[in-house]
Amino acid sequence: MEDMTIIEFETFLVELDKNIAKLKSLAAREGDTAASNEAKQLTKERAQLVEKFFRKLTAWDKVLLARHKDRPYTLDYVAALCDDFLELHGDRAFGDDGAVVGGFARMAGRSLMLIGQQKGRDLKERQRRNFGYMKPEGYRKALRLMEMAERFSRPVLTFIDTPGADPNVPSEQRGISEAIARNLREMSVLKTPTVAVVVGEGGSGGALGLAVADRVLMLEHSFYSVIAPEGCASILYRDATRGADAAKAMRVTAQDALELGLVDEIIPEPLGGAHLDVTTTAENLERVVTKHLDDLTALPMGELLEQRGKRLRALGKFEISVDRWRTAG
């Protein structure tokens, strides 16, 4: 059990549940009290095992949970949270990027601009959404919507869930670097409250391109990283399969980011992960996001921008010293 990843553990639970179900049906069919007791005992032990496993999740487990095939995506949260969502399309220059959705949303009695990275559920949708890798037109669509939100005094809420920006030839041709850079610059001075939530994978600059905000929140089992753990492993250990070691070394979990002072709050997930209970996860998300939006919308615009600027200016860990790294002796 100690060495299992979360995915192996889930497979183990499926087997365990089958056994429990068998015992239960045996008990029901033949009034077998021994079977009934064993089922009860196993059910109890199961709960303990789950709790124990989730108390000691590794950084790599978090990565796997964030990438879990059943992990809720932006549109799942939209369905759970929004009374109305009017999706808008296109960057007005080249195309419409399926890897990001955005539009007018009504959430908890509030109108806001909701923009989120979106992966696909089945192969066809995954391809259409480019596995969540945004292209330049995606960042430009997002910026168009954010600037519209600014004009109509609506807060911006972004959901982050991407392995990274699309690195292929057409994206380089259309200026993927410029598109991300421009978003960073414009989001840093956007005249409306902004909240970003990492709901799954926070993959490098591709994630940051939608995540410069007044408040940055993370779901409990999401991760946020400067480079994919596998990419780091292939540089550091010359072995891409050592992603688990790299994830630990880079401290990619939500809890790490909170300790490093890079995010404001962690949104709890139900035991076992968001995919087991989307409704509860969405409720937690709404509660925390609403609290932060309430705080932010109460601020005068000048103060909001000043706070954001100070926050961005203060990012980083350094000290004042000319000989901090002078070799001893």
Partner 1 sequence: MPDWFKRSKSPEVPEGAFVKCTGCNAILVTKDFERDNKVCPRCAYHHPLSANERIAMLTDEDSFVEFGNDIAATDPLTFPGYAQKLTAGHSEETGRNDGLVTGRASINSRPVVLAISDFQWGRLAGTMGSVFGEKFAVAADVALAENRPLITFCASGGARMQEGLVSLMQMAKTSHAVAKLRDANIPYIVVLTHPSTGGAVASYASLGDVIYAEPGATVALSGERVAAQAQTHKVPANYRTAEFALEHGMIDRVVHRRDIQSYITRTLLFMQSPSK
Residues that bind partner 1 in the complex, under the rule CB under 8 A = 165, 167-178, 180-182, 184-186, 188-189, 204-205, 208-209, 212, 224-227, 231-232, 234-236, 249-252, 256-257, 260, 262, 309, 312-313, 315-327
Write down the least CB distance from residue 302 to partner 1, Å.
Answer: 14
Query: Which CB sits closer to partner 1, 154 or 174?
Result: 174
Shortest distance (Å) from residue 230 CB to partner 1: 10
* Residue 4 vs 261, nearer CB to partner 1: 261
Distance between CA atoms of residues 169 and 293, nearest Å: 39
Give 35 or 176: the residue with its C-beta nearer to partner 1: 176
Instruction: Pick the closer one to partner 1 by CB: 31 or 316.
Output: 316
Query: How do 110-117 and 100-107 pair as beta strands?
Result: antiparallel
Q: Alpha helices, DSSP H only, in 82-214?
A: 123-128, 136-151, 169-173, 176-187, 204-208
Cβ atoms of residues 230 and 296 within 8 Å: no
Residue closer to partner 1 by CB (options 23, 197) is: 197
Burial of 198-211, coded b for 16+ CB within 10 Å and e otherwise, reads bbbbbbbbbbbbbb
Looking at beta carbons only, is 116 or 163 nearer to partner 1? 163
Beta carbon of residue 203, minimum distance to partner 1 (angstroms, whole number): 10
Nearer to partner 1, 29 or 313 (CB): 313
Structural tokens at position 178:
């410029």
**What is the closest distance, in whole angstroms, from the C-beta atom of residue 309 to partner 1 in the complex?**
7
d(C-alpha 125, C-alpha 213), whole Å: 29
Q: How far is the CB of 154 from partner 1 (least distance, A)?
A: 21
| Other C-beta atoms lying within 10 Å of the C-beta of residue 140 | 24
Task: Write down the least CB distance from residue 166 to partner 1, Å.
Answer: 8
Min. distance of Cβ 127 from partner 1 in angstroms? 11
Q: Please name the residue that has the structure tokens 């809720």.
A: 72
Query: Distances from the Cα of 296 to the Cαs of 155, 198, 215, 285, in angstroms?
Result: 9, 19, 9, 16
Ramachandran quadrant class, 161 (left: phi over 0; alpha: psi -120 to 50; beta: rest): beta
CA distance 310 to 135: 30
For residue 100, what are the β-bridge partners? 117
* 3-class DSSP string for 132-148: HCECHHHHHHHHHHHHH
With respect to partner 1, which residue has the nearer C-beta, 252 or 285?
252
Coil/strand/helix, residue 175 = coil
Name, in order, each residue with C-beta under 8 angstroms of 119's C-beta and a sequence gap of 6 or more: 73, 99, 126, 129, 131, 132, 161, 200
Question: With respect to partner 1, which residue has the nearer C-beta, 90 or 170?
Answer: 170
Residue 79 CB, nearest distance to partner 1 (Å)?
A: 30
